[in-house]
Amino acid sequence: MITIKNVKKTFNRTEVLKNVSMDIENGEIFGIIGQSGAGKSTLLRCINGLETYDRGEIRVDGTLVNVKNKSELRLLQKRMGMIFQSFNLLERLDVYHNVALPMKFWGIPTNTPEAKEKIMNLIRLVGLEEKVHAKPRELSGGQKQRVAIARALVLDPEILLCDEATSALDPEITKGILALLQKINKEMGITIVVVTHQMEVVKQICQRVAFLSHGQMLAIGKPEQLFVWPKEREIRDFLREESDKLPTTGINLKLFFFGEGNQRPIVTQMSQELQTDFNICWAKLEDFREDVYGSLVLNMEEKDLERACAFLDSKGVTWEVIK
Class of domain 241-322: alpha beta
Q: How far apart are CA 130 and CA 133, in angstroms?
A: 8
pLDDT of residue 21: 96
DSSP state of 269: H
Reply yes or no on whether the pLDDT at 262 is more than 60.
no
pTM of this prediction exceeds 0.85: no
CB 46 within 8 A of CB 221: no
**294-323 pLDDT, tens digit each:** 788 999 999 999 999 999 999 888 888 987
Backbone angles phi, psi at 252, to 5 degrees: -100, 120
pLDDT of residue 242: 56
CA–CA–CA angle 258, 263, 265 (5° rounding): 110
Kindly state the helix (H) or strand (E) to which residue 18 belongs, with its residue range: strand 14-24
pLDDT of residue 240: 67
Q: Which amino acid is at 217?
A: M
CATH of region 2-230, choose from 3.30.460.10, 3.40.50.300, 3.30.1360.70, 3.30.420.10 = 3.40.50.300
Sorted by where each begins, the domain ranges of the chain are 2-230, 241-322
Percent of the chain with pLDDT strictly greater than 70: 96
The DSSP secondary structure of 26-78, one letter per residue, reads TT-EEEEE-STTSSHHHHHHHHTTSS--SEEEEEETTEE--TT-HHHHHHHHH
Long-range (24+ apart) CB contacts under 8 A made by 37-42 are 37/214, 38/212, 38/213, 38/214, 38/215, 39/9, 39/212, 39/214, 39/215, 40/195, 40/196, 40/197, 40/212, 41/163, 41/164, 41/195, 42/9, 42/16, 42/17
pLDDT of residue 252: 92
Q: How far apart are CA 21 and CA 35, in angstroms?
A: 18
**68-118 pLDDT, tens digit each:** 889 899 999 999 999 988 888 999 999 999 999 999 999 999 989 999 999
Higher pLDDT, 250 or 245: 250
**133-168 pLDDT, tens digit each:** 999 999 999 999 999 999 999 999 999 999 988 887
Reply yes or no on whether the pLDDT at 238 is more than 80.
no
Backbone angles phi, psi at 17, to 5 degrees: -130, 125
